[in-house]
Amino acid sequence: MAVYTHLGAEDLERLIAEYDAGRLVSAKGIAEGVSNSNWLIETTQARYILTMYERRIELADLPFFLALLDHLSEAGCPVPRTIHDRSGAPFRMVGEKAAALIEFLPGVSPTIPDPDQARAVGSALAQIHLAAGNFAMSRPNDLGPQQTSAILHECGADALASIDPSLPDILDIATGIARNWPNDLPLSIIHSDLFPDNVLMLGDRVTGMIDFYFACTGAMAYDLAVTHAAWCFDRSGKHLIQALGAALVEGYDSVRPLNKSERNHLPLLAQGACLRFIASRAQDWLDTPADALVRRKDPMDFVHRLEFYRDKGHSAFS
């Protein structure tokens, strides 16, 4: 989440008035993240999250994203529902940009997760995969290894080296990951971006899984690998916290057991997960405007994780 577009009080009041959601009391910009503008909205009726879609999200994809939230919420998953406007539309246009009002869910994103929290997140992720099995819509993964390898090559070795002198080394590795990627693993709709800041918890209970704007049709084991890479390392990205990784996979397995092929491919899937974040972070590092209310994230954090998965293989998941 971030704020790229600045809306005045009058603009926000007019927008909220299009919903049966009470009168606007306050609006606070949210600085985390890199893709959209977001505000915490408080009205005389409730709290909401207002999202304006800025980057990487096509207008044609919004019906998929917002219908998915409603589908998963109705299935009992800890996912916020979309607030539809008075005409029944799930989003509105503000100038040339789309905006949606989303249910606010309680909870706090863990900064130092413990094994009980990781286990709960694994279970909740598997629950989402199962619930999405009968979702009527689909969306291709436009940030798979082929695409992320292409993003890195388009950035170019010189630009990557301006971030870190060793970063251009990822180009050959990216090509190899894309070449060896499996295409026969069980599919569902996946979140594909389940960092701790996209999970809300009260203690060791998951109360909200948010920011589904990279959701797509993909391998469920890949989504688990994304979450493993995002949750289970220290801040440097160089050291796996084994207890977290084991608890995450155990929680997932307790709801949806992995098959043999999925388990065998986890190290490669995790490398692909790291590649996706290396590419998006490098691109954002090079493209983010200097005056945006947003923190740039270092792609090297995930280079270290990728190297770990390459070196340790299956032991990373044992």
Could you tell me the maximum CA-CA distance found in the chain, to the nearest angstrom?
57
Domain that holds residue 24: 9-103
The domain spanning residue 59 has which CATH number?
3.30.200.20
What token pair was written down for 222?
A: 């890949």
Other residues' Cβ atoms within 10 Å of the Cβ of residue 61: 17
The pLDDT value recorded for residue 290 is 57
Q: Which whole-number Å values give the CA distances from 78 to 5, 105, 106, 201, in the listed order?
A: 29, 9, 10, 10
The domain spanning residue 170 has which CATH number?
3.90.1200.10
Has residue 133 been placed in a domain? Answer: yes
Regarding whether 133 and 163 lie in a shared domain, the answer is yes
* 161 SS3 class: helix
What secondary structure letter does DSSP report for 134?
G
Backbone angles phi, psi at 164, to 5 degrees: -155, 135
Please give the average per-residue pLDDT across 74-90, as a whole number: 97
The pLDDT value recorded for residue 132 is 98
Regarding whether 299 and 168 lie in a shared domain, the answer is yes
Of 103, 131, 162, which residue sits at a domain end?
A: 103
The pLDDT value recorded for residue 1 is 42
Please give the average per-residue pLDDT across 210-233, as a whole number: 96
What token pair was written down for 45?
A: 């009726």
Of 103, 137, 154, which residue sits at a domain end?
A: 103
Nearest 10 degrees: Cα torsion 208, 188, 257, 275: -80
Regarding whether 134 and 48 lie in a shared domain, the answer is no
The pLDDT value recorded for residue 209 is 98
Q: Is the pLDDT of residue 33 over 90?
A: no
Regarding whether 180 and 58 lie in a shared domain, the answer is no
Regarding whether 35 and 159 lie in a shared domain, the answer is no
Percent of the chain with pLDDT over 90: 82
Regarding whether 263 and 125 lie in a shared domain, the answer is yes
Regarding whether 254 and 125 lie in a shared domain, the answer is yes
Regarding whether 239 and 209 lie in a shared domain, the answer is yes
- Residues 52 and 91: their CA atoms lie apart, in Å, by 10
Regarding whether 119 and 70 lie in a shared domain, the answer is no
The pLDDT value recorded for residue 95 is 87
Has residue 17 been placed in a domain? Answer: yes
Please give the average per-residue pLDDT across 100-113, as a whole number: 96
Question: Of 247, 223, 254, nearest to 129 (Cα)?
Answer: 223
Amino acid at the residue 117: Q
Q: Point out the least confidently predicted range of 53-57, 103-107, 229-233.
A: 53-57
CB contact at 8 A, 275 and 145: yes
Q: How confident is the model at residue 61 (pLDDT cuts 50, 70, 90)?
A: very high
Strand partners, 234: none
Please give the average per-residue pLDDT across 140-154, as a whole number: 95
Regarding whether 304 and 279 lie in a shared domain, the answer is yes
- Residues 175 and 148: their CA atoms lie apart, in Å, by 10
Has residue 3 been placed in a domain? Answer: no
- Residues 288 and 198: their CA atoms lie apart, in Å, by 21
Percent of the chain with pLDDT over 70: 94
Regarding whether 95 and 140 lie in a shared domain, the answer is no
Domain count, the chain: 2
Rg of the Cα atoms in the chain = 19
Has residue 184 been placed in a domain? Answer: yes
Has residue 1 been placed in a domain? Answer: no
Mean pLDDT, all residues of the chain: 93
Segment holding 203, helix H or strand E: none
The pLDDT value recorded for residue 114 is 97
What token pair was written down for 298?
A: 């270092």
Question: Of 95, 73, 76, nearest to 84 (Cα)?
Answer: 73
Q: How confident is the model at residue 102 (pLDDT cuts 50, 70, 90)?
A: very high
Regarding whether 207 and 95 lie in a shared domain, the answer is no
Has residue 108 been placed in a domain? Answer: no
Of 79, 103, 127, which residue sits at a domain end?
A: 103
Q: What is the pTM of this model?
A: 0.91
The pLDDT value recorded for residue 96 is 87
Has residue 109 been placed in a domain? Answer: no
2-13 pLDDT, tens digit each: 556 678 889 999
